[in-house]
Structure 1
Amino acid sequence: MRKTLLRITSLAALVMWPSMGSAQELVWWTMSWNEANARAFADEFIAENPGVTVRIEPNVAGGLQSRVLIAIQSGNTPDLIDIQNGVNIPLAETGGLAAIGDALASEGVDFEDFLPAAVETATYNGQVYGMPFQVEAHAFLYNKAAYRDAGLDPETPPTTWKEFLEFSEALTGSWSNGSPRYGYGVSGGGPDQPGNSLFRSLPFLWMNGGGILGPDNEVIVNSPASVEGLKLYVDLFTEYGYAPPSTLENDSNALRRLFSVGNVAQIPGATSDVQRVLEADPDFEIGVGLLPHPEGGEPAAILGGWNFVIPEAARNKELAVKLAAFMASPERQAIYTTTFPAAQSGLDLPRFDDPLFAAHKEMLGFARPQPTIPEWSQITRIYYTHLQEALLGSMSAQQSMDAAAAEITALLSN
């Protein structure tokens, strides 16, 4: 199988970056929302390491992977980078990241304390190319007022697919003021794709014993188990009418807005979705449970999160490893994360005792990393294209996944 290399233009490769630091200066690319925390931890690290300075350069998520690739190609890189866990392996595959597992262990980092699925997101060809610091997984969000209006117990969300369909049917209809209400929010379009649809539909395949790729990266997206799981996701919109007419335009932001105003009664969502709903309406009665699953099975979700990575061309790799190890502390991760720390002992800290987020915390135990092969981003685009065909009704679930399987097989055979 030919590796698909991540490429950038020769012009971009000539871009000179202001990030390269001096011999004892570490350059840390953090995210804009974490800049204050990064500066505070940098000051603490400097105090423990006299003679060292840390320059913080904040980024935004949009275009981050491209910026990192350009820096790697130019050879003018920062020393430490916060990166989404889904792009850790593609970056490692370029040869532009340093393998840091052994060095971190030498600095006292206990990978046994980390969520195993999180470590998988940083492991490529048996080497660890990143250190997870933040993890997250979707849970099942529901509107308690809608449950009461539909005659359902607002403290008991569905646990099985059978109950999920029954609840979705009961919730689909109208409020007393005549405004429409749909049982479940399906993501089938919008600007933030294919990620939104992938995070919301792939767990249906996983929970049913299927997936897009199998354990050895064999194509299983058109297997009976995969198609049955996908068909349920699609049928919520096409067959049952439990999802709103705007489904083919709905990404996560659109679904959250529909949920917030009562037009959709149930959605999968992250802790950030809960927070934003309550920020918009502090009186909103939101319930949170585990994602419903097949009878006798268990939930599944894609593991999201963030990792620290160190470029191979970093000027101060040893110091960068030391800074990453410093940030491995569960107490520091508990402050630096916007969701949950990758170091599992940090989950016992008081910050994570809020019962509203108990289900999200429990879902971490059922979360899985996305397949760690270089072609994964192309595979997800193929999958999304054919998922839309099923949602449009131009193909059956089986036909759409047969077409996806053929394209993915051809891609992996090149």
Structure 2
Amino acid sequence: MHQRTRRALAGLVMGTLIAGTAACSASGGDAEGTGEAENVTITIMGKPAATNTAAVELFERQVAAFEEANPTITIEASDVPWDAKTFATRLAGGSAPTLLRVPLTEPPALIERGQVADITDVASELDSFDDLNPRVMQFLERDGAVYGIPEKSYAFGLVYNRTLFEEAGLDPDAPPQTWDEVREYAKQISDATGKTGFGEITTNNSGGWHLTGYDYTFGGRIIEQESDGTWVAAFNDDASRDVLELWKAMRWEDDSLGDNVLGKQEDLVAEFTAGNVGMWVSAPPDVYPNYVAAGGDPAAFGAGPMPQGGADATLAGATVLMVSAQATEAEKAAAVKWIDWRALRPNYDLEVAAETAKASAADGLPVGVPVAPIFSDEAYAAYRAAIEEYVNVPVENFAPYVESLTAFEYVPEPEVASQEIYAALDPLVQAILTDPNADIDALLDDAESRVNTILAQNAS
């Protein structure tokens, strides 16, 4: 592990800051070279949704502790999530927050358009910088410059209800490994319990997102780069047909997908939490906190590997933090300090990790959910050891998923216009799941044309 001298930050989220912690609060800048600290206010994304009261309370304590340790910096936080269309307008108009919280699909375009700041000078000084996972950082760097820091990473896996597995006569410790097994298990769950065997999402770009992830497991890709550097659609192939044929069979032959096929992820989380869905695909570590916050039974939560169609691959992504190009040098420095405080130290500085875990456990928040780490394996192992006494989640229920993280190839989301592509693919998925007579070849041809138009527009 990369080592630097690190200050103790005891009581980070408990609000009992020792005087020494003020040393980690460099000012936002130097007021006209006088040596006096410059007061700076930064607007940030990332505040938890108001419905998750415990998470909001913890977040607000972290803000208060940060401002006490950094008296020249004021934080104004928003719980508004990233939306590509809305924020495109805000970034163009200069009204975007100082600190952006975006999916890993967004950095290439944001960097290309000059809408995010080069933070190399301040980011490279962070204690944890050298241990950040290069599999994620490769998307946040260009020509030697750093434009963002990962907050968390994810890989697709299977989320499943262990109770429904048992009711259907299935072993909850042995989730399906292949799509053929998923189909078999889904029908068995539906037949035995009357519940939806396998849940699906198709709106708000989620249909295209899932088609992409499923396509990867069959060895396909959504777009590919030609020898001249242009990008073209690559999904009109057998891999996508295999996915669409699977959906069609499960929906219209097996009746294991249920009738609620035009929803988004939040809708499916609610149905899964209520015990009405046997299995579905997402990033299990991201689903679990919302599941528990909504009253889901931790013992019933299962996490398995991404089902495979022969490729041994899974879609991987991340949530990353980037600074607006409109930020002043003082605002940029302050934003990176907040990134370090909120996103990195609780997962890297072992004293802070233990204090954060202790406070989270006291608030009834999940502690110790296994994740795809943003740091090196060595740093992540040290973090797990530091929080071990506060872990309050059924870690063993995640074992099949955790094992898959080292077994599968990580395939990133489409490198160009990913969210636009997902939106263009939503109607294809919706048609398959709402029309028993849907023509797969015609739908693929139409979607290919639309995606190629999007790629051409992005290249111009």
1:308 to 321, 324, 342: 321
- C-alpha distance 78-151 of structure 1, shift in aligned 2 (>3 A): closer
The match for 2:280 is 267
Say if 2:357 is the partner of 1:343: no
**1:259-303 Cα distance to aligned partner (Å, 9 max, x none):** 3344321122333433444452437523221121124x3241342
- Aligned letter for 1:59? S
The match for 2:198 is 184
Unaligned runs of 5+ in 2: 1-27, 32-37, 49-55, 361-365
Q: Note if contact 1:220-1:226 (Cα within 8 Å) is conserved in structure 2.
A: no
Q: Note if contact 2:46-2:78 (Cα within 8 Å) is conserved in structure 1.
A: yes
**1:308-338 Cα distance to aligned partner (Å, 9 max, x none):** 2122221125624752674444426965999
- C-alpha distance 368-116 of structure 1, shift in aligned 2 (>3 A): farther
The match for 2:107 is 88
1:42 to 36, 57, 66: 66
Say if 2:304 is the partner of 1:289: yes
- C-alpha distance 213-41 of structure 1, shift in aligned 2 (>3 A): farther
CA positional deviation for 1:142:
2.0
Distance 1:95 1:372 in 2: 17
1:224 to 238, 241, 263: 238
The match for 1:372 is 415
Corresponding residue SS for 2:221:
coil
Corresponding residue SS for 1:246:
coil
**1:84-117 Cα distance to aligned partner (Å, 9 max, x none):** 3333333323212112346533556535x33334
The match for 2:124 is 105
CA positional deviation for 1:250:
2.8
- Aligned letter for 2:201? S
- C-alpha distance 413-267 of structure 1, shift in aligned 2 (>3 A): closer
**1:135-163 Cα distance to aligned partner (Å, 9 max, x none):** 23332122223223322222211112232
The match for 2:35 is none
Distance 2:109 2:246 in 1: 31
The match for 2:295 is 280
Corresponding residue SS for 2:102:
strand
The match for 2:72 is 53
- C-alpha distance 364-97 of structure 1, shift in aligned 2 (>3 A): farther
Say if 2:165 is the partner of 1:133: no
The match for 1:163 is 181
Distance 1:145 1:282 in 2: 10
Q: Note if contact 1:24-1:316 (Cα within 8 Å) is conserved in structure 2.
A: no
Say if 2:330 is the partner of 1:298: no
Corresponding residue SS for 1:395:
coil
CA positional deviation for 1:124:
5.4
2:438 to 387, 392, 395: 395
Corresponding residue SS for 1:57:
strand
Q: Note if contact 1:129-1:309 (Cα within 8 Å) is conserved in structure 2.
A: yes
CA positional deviation for 1:253:
2.8
- Aligned letter for 1:201? L
**1:152-207 Cα distance to aligned partner (Å, 9 max, x none):** 222211112232222222222143xxxx2232112234xxx11x223433211001
Distance 2:217 2:80 in 1: 30
CA positional deviation for 1:28:
4.4
Deviates most, 56-65 or 334-343: 334-343
CA positional deviation for 1:221:
1.2
Say if 2:172 is the partner of 1:154: yes
- C-alpha distance 70-165 of structure 1, shift in aligned 2 (>3 A): closer
Q: Note if contact 1:108-1:325 (Cα within 8 Å) is conserved in structure 2.
A: no
CA positional deviation for 1:210:
0.7
CA positional deviation for 1:369:
2.9
**1:359-398 Cα distance to aligned partner (Å, 9 max, x none):** 555555554432232x333222111122222223353333
TM-score (norm 2): 0.70
Deviates most, 327-336 or 199-208: 327-336
Distance 2:337 2:246 in 1: 46
Number of equivalenced pairs: 377
**1:61-80 Cα distance to aligned partner (Å, 9 max, x none):** 34665675555444466544
CA positional deviation for 1:228:
1.8
- C-alpha distance 161-128 of structure 1, shift in aligned 2 (>3 A): same
Unaligned runs of 5+ in 1: 1-19, 47-51
- Aligned letter for 2:396? P
Q: Note if contact 2:120-2:146 (Cα within 8 Å) is conserved in structure 1.
A: yes
Distance 1:197 1:126 in 2: 35
The match for 2:19 is none
Q: Note if contact 2:152-2:374 (Cα within 8 Å) is conserved in structure 1.
A: yes
Corresponding residue SS for 2:73:
strand
Distance 1:243 1:286 in 2: 19
Distance 1:67 1:182 in 2: 34
Identity %: 19
- Aligned letter for 2:115? G
Alpha-carbon RMSD across the aligned residues, in angstroms, is 3.5
- C-alpha distance 141-263 of structure 1, shift in aligned 2 (>3 A): same
Q: Note if contact 2:82-2:101 (Cα within 8 Å) is conserved in structure 1.
A: no
Matches within 5 A, 1:228-239: 228-239=242-253
Corresponding residue SS for 1:164:
helix
Corresponding residue SS for 2:432:
helix
Corresponding residue SS for 1:61:
coil
Deviates most, 201-210 or 131-140: 131-140
- Aligned letter for 2:451? I
TM-score (norm 1): 0.77
Corresponding residue SS for 1:404:
helix
Distance 2:80 2:329 in 1: 24
Distance 2:329 2:65 in 1: 18
Distance 1:215 1:359 in 2: 34
2:337 to 323, 347, 368: 323
